Structure 1
């Protein structure tokens, strides 16, 4: 089987965001795998408007050219790794908007999660898992949660050390995440191609 195409989606667009650091880290880790072809998608690069279509593209074609470009990009991939901050116990508005701008492109594909912030982004990831299910994605069990002392070790407002400084704490979870994502991505891709 050919390499599986995986998108690492950076879910924060703030000027002062921290997300670039863990997104680049998980991208680099995933890129070392011989069975994956990985691309980093930064939501800043897509300049998506707030959702304003007549309906989800599950029911009606989208009309905004920026939205259509996003949908085409999302459709290129077999699976996804979402990198999300936790804002007020949920995901960022930018990420929720990006998820809402597509539907059929997400369907029957695997999704994994890297969270950071309060309690390692756990509450944001829980919301994201539910959203993923509604979009007919398959959420993997293992996630990477960067919180507490690990967060303050690598965050720019803390010690600002490289991600390698906390790999001992989060590396095993990342490896589990990638193993599960690869398995489920291969399974869903095989099933999609057979149907």
Structure 2
């Protein structure tokens, strides 16, 4: 069974990423072609990259890195749920990616973003970073507008997530692509493991 991690890409207090990630997971719950689980960056408490050896060599020295590596290695693909901060994705996501190399290789990723512009600029930057660690980003993505897909009465609070009806179809298409690509890349992962 294909294993997909929905990565909660914000560690900020009052974040919206958690409720969006739960929506992704709940929408995927009826699928029979994949197991979809949440992976919350906040649960890993990764410090700023502190490994003395570049991730390319896989010589991890710290317990937090080994735990993170084991988690990421166990999945075939990912859905990154990311806000857009200052025209890009959060530093916590970049830091989490930079910790590892081989654990990301030859896997697929989809994207669910949100922000005043739907988070599309965050995803454009994230695609470039993931390509460097050999993650294949799928074409379809879900872009959520803070104005149309959330009810926010106080900007200091996460508000209520209320995705527009068309977002379910976009999410289903993106999940189809991630699962298909994760399957297509499986022989590459198996060749490395052999």
How does the TM-score come out when normalised to structure 1?
0.91
Aligned to 1:119, the other structure's residue is in SS state coil
Specify every segment of 5 or more residues in structure 1 that has no aligned partner in the other structure, as ranges: none
2:21 alignment counterpart: 23
Cα deviation, residue 59, structure 1: 2.1
Aligned-CA RMSD value: 1.8
Counterpart mapping for 1:80-159 below 5 A: 80-153=78-151, 155=152, 157=154
Which structure 1 residue ranges, 4+ long, deviate > 6 Å from structure 2? none
More deviation, 174-183/58-67: 58-67
Bigger proportion of residues as strand:
2
1:4 alignment counterpart: 2
Tell me the alpha carbon deviations over residues 7-63 of structure 1, each in whole angstroms, 9 at most, x when there is no partner: 000010111111111100001112221111111011111011110212322125011
Bigger proportion of residues as helix:
1
> For 2:189, which of 176, 189, 192 is the aligned residue?
192
2:60 is equivalent to residue 51 of structure 1: no
CA distance in 1: counterparts of 2:153 and 2:123, whole angstroms: 22
Aligned residues: 190
Query: 8 Å contact 1:86–1:117 — kept in the other structure?
Result: yes
The 1:147/1:51 distance shift into structure 2, 3 A limit, reads: same
Cα deviation, residue 191, structure 1: 3.4
The 1:6/1:110 distance shift into structure 2, 3 A limit, reads: same
How does the TM-score come out when normalised to structure 2?
0.91
Query: 8 Å contact 1:112–1:142 — kept in the other structure?
Result: yes
The 1:156/1:178 distance shift into structure 2, 3 A limit, reads: farther
1:180 alignment counterpart: 177
The 1:139/1:71 distance shift into structure 2, 3 A limit, reads: same
More deviation, 60-69/122-131: 60-69
CA distance in 2: counterparts of 1:110 and 1:95, whole angstroms: 16
CA distance in 2: counterparts of 1:157 and 1:56, whole angstroms: 42
Query: 8 Å contact 2:58–2:100 — kept in the other structure?
Result: no
Specify every segment of 5 or more residues in structure 2 that has no aligned partner in the other structure, as ranges: none
